[in-house]
C-alpha cells in the first residue's frame, strides 16, 4: 500500500510541476518577444489582450489546431518520434531540480550528474529530426548540433566540477545549503571562472545566440526542424525553452545560492528573510532567462570554426584551470 501511495503522490506532484512549468514556458516566449521588441525600439505583441498578454495562449491554440504535415520522403517513424525525445529529455531534468527547501519531485544523491546526463539525451531528438527530414537544411542543422553539443557538454560538465569540489556533494539541495556556510552565500564569487565557462557553454548547449548555428535562419532557414509543422514544431520549441529554464535553474542552484539570500545581505537587511525562498529562486532564474534574451538582442552569430575554437581552446582550458585552482586552495586551507 505504501508503494501505491508513493506512486500516487509523485504522479500528482509531477502533474502540478508540469502545469506550472508549461505556463512559465508560454510566458517566457511572450517575455522574449517583448524584450527583443523593446531592445529594437518596437513594442512587441500588443493586439491580443492588454499589452498582448494573451498572445502566448493564442499561439498555443493556433499551433495545436494547425495541420500536422509529414512530408512524403521522410523516415516516418524517426520523424514522428524525434520531437518526443527532445521534449521528454527536457522535461525529465526537472524531476530533480529543487525549487525551495523540501520542494522537489525527487532528491537523488547524484542530482547534478543526472541533469547533465539527461540534458544530453535531448541532442538525439535534434540529430534524428535532422536526419529523418531528408532535407539538406535540416541535415546540416542536425550535424552542426551534434558536433556543437558533444564539444560543449565537456566544458559544461567541467565548469561544474569546481562547484562540486566546494560543496563536496552531487546533491543539488546540499550544494545550495553548503553555500549558506560562507558569508558571501554564493559560489559565484570564488567560482567566477567556472561561472563564466558555464554561462558560455549554457548558451551553446541550448542553441541560443550567439551559438545558434543549428538553427541559423539566414543560412539554414530554421535548421533541424525546417520540415516540421503544427504540434510537432511546437514540441521542439517547447523543448528548447525547457532546456533554457533547466540551465537557468542549474546556474541558480550551483552559482547563485538557489532559494537562499546571502548571509551578509541578510545581516544588513533582515527583512529580506521574510520573502519566501521560491520568490528568490524564480527571480534568479528569470535573471538568467533575461540574459538569454538580452544576448539574443545584442550579439551577432559566431562562425562555425570560431565556435569550435572557443569551445576547445578557450573554455575547456579555463575550466581545467578552475579545477586546479579550486583543488589547490581547498587542499591548502
Partner 1 sequence: MSQPAVDQAFFIYFYISLSILSIAVIASRNIIHSAFFLLIFLLHVAAVFLFLNAEFLMVIQIIVYVGGVLALFVFAIMVMNLKEELRHRKFVKFAGAGILAGLLFFAVFYVFIRNIKITPEKPLLGDVNTLGSLLYSYYLLPFEILSLVLLVALIGGIIIAKKNPREDK
Size of the site for partner 1 (CB under 8 A): 34
Place of cell 539525451: 121
Whether omega before 210 lies within 30 degrees of 0, making that bond cis, reads yes
CB of 130 or CB of 277, closer to partner 1:
130
Helices (H) and strands (E) in the chain, counts: 14, 0
| 4 part of the interface to partner 1, by CB under 8 A | yes
| 37 part of the interface to partner 1, by CB under 8 A | no
Q: What's the min distance (Å) between Cβ of 206 and partner 1? A: 16
The number of CA neighbours under 13 Å toward the Cβ of 20 is 11
CA distance 321 to 195: 13
Interacting span for partner 1 (CB under 8 A) from 29-37, 137-145, 207-215, 289-297: 137-145
| 121 part of the interface to partner 1, by CB under 8 A | yes
CB of 128 or CB of 256, closer to partner 1:
128
CA distance 213 to 301: 8
Q: What's the min distance (Å) between Cβ of 242 and partner 1? A: 18
| 312 part of the interface to partner 1, by CB under 8 A | no
How many CB atoms are closer than 10 A to CB 103? 16
Interacting span for partner 1 (CB under 8 A) from 9-17, 107-115, 190-198, 303-311: 107-115
| DSSP conformational letter for 52 | G
Interacting span for partner 1 (CB under 8 A) from 19-27, 40-48, 113-121, 241-249: 113-121
The 3-state secondary structure of 89-141 reads: HHHHHHHCCCCECCECCCCCCCHHHHHHHHHHHHHHHHHHHHHHCCCHHHHHH
The length of the chain is 333
| 40 part of the interface to partner 1, by CB under 8 A | no
| 73 part of the interface to partner 1, by CB under 8 A | no
Which residues make up the interface to partner 1 (CB under 8 A)?
Answer: 1, 3-4, 75, 77-78, 81, 108-110, 113-114, 116-118, 120-121, 123-124, 127-128, 130-132, 139, 142-143, 146-147, 149-150, 153, 157, 170
Amino acid at each position: 500500500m505504501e508503494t501505491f501511495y508513493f506512486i500516487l503522490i509523485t504522479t500528482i506532484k509531477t502533474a502540478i510541476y508540469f502545469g506550472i512549468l508549461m505556463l512559465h514556458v508560454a510566458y517566457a516566449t511572450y517575455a522574449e518577444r517583448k524584450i527583443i521588441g523593446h531592445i529594437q525600439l518596437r513594442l512587441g505583441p500588443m493586439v491580443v489582450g492588454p499589452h498582448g498578454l494573451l498572445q502566448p495562449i493564442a499561439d498555443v491554440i493556433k499551433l495545436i489546431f494547425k495541420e500536422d504535415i509529414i512530408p512524403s520522403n521522410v523516415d516516418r517513424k524517426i520523424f514522428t518520434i524525434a520531437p518526443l525525445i527532445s521534449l521528454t529529455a527536457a522535461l525529465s531534468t526537472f524531476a530533480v531540480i529543487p525549487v525551495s527547501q523540501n520542494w522537489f519531485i525527487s532528491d537523488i544523491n547524484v542530482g547534478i550528474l543526472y541533469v547533465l546526463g539527461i540534458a544530453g539525451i535531448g541532442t538525439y531528438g535534434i540529430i534524428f529530426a535532422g536526419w529523418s527530414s531528408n532535407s539538406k537544411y535540416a541535415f546540416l542543422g542536425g550535424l552542426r548540433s551534434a558536433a556543437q553539443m558533444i564539444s560543449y557538454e565537456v566544458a559544461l560538465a567541467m565548469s561544474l566540477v569546481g562547484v562540486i569540489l566546494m560543496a563536496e556533494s552531487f546533491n543539488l539541495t546540499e550544494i545550495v545549503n553548503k553555500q549558506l556556510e560562507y558569508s558571501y552565500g554564493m559560489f559565484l564569487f570564488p567560482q567566477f571562472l567556472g561561472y563564466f565557462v558555464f554561462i558560455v557553454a549554457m548558451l551553446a548547449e541550448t542553441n541560443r545566440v550567439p551559438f545558434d548555428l543549428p538553427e541559423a535562419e539566414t543560412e539554414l532557414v530554421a535548421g533541424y526542424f525546417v520540415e516540421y509543422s503544427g504540434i510537432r514544431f511546437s514540441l521542439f520549441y517547447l523543448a528548447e525553452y525547457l532546456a533554457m529554464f533547466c540551465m537557468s535553474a542549474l546556474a541558480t542552484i550551483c552559482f547563485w545560492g538557489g532559494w537562499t539570500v546571502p548571509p551578509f545581505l541578510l545581516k544588513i537587511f533582515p527583512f529580506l528573510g521574510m520573502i519566501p525562498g521560491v520568490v528568490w529562486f524564480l527571480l534568479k532564474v528569470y535573471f538568467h532567462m533575461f540574459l538569454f534574451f538580452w544576448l539574443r538582442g545584442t550579439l551577432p552569430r559566431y562562425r562555425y570554426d570560431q565556435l569550435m575554437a572557443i569551445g576547445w581552446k578557450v573554455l575547456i582550458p579555463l575550466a581545467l584551470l578552475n579545477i586546479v585552482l579550486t583543488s589547490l586552495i581547498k587542499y591548502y586551507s
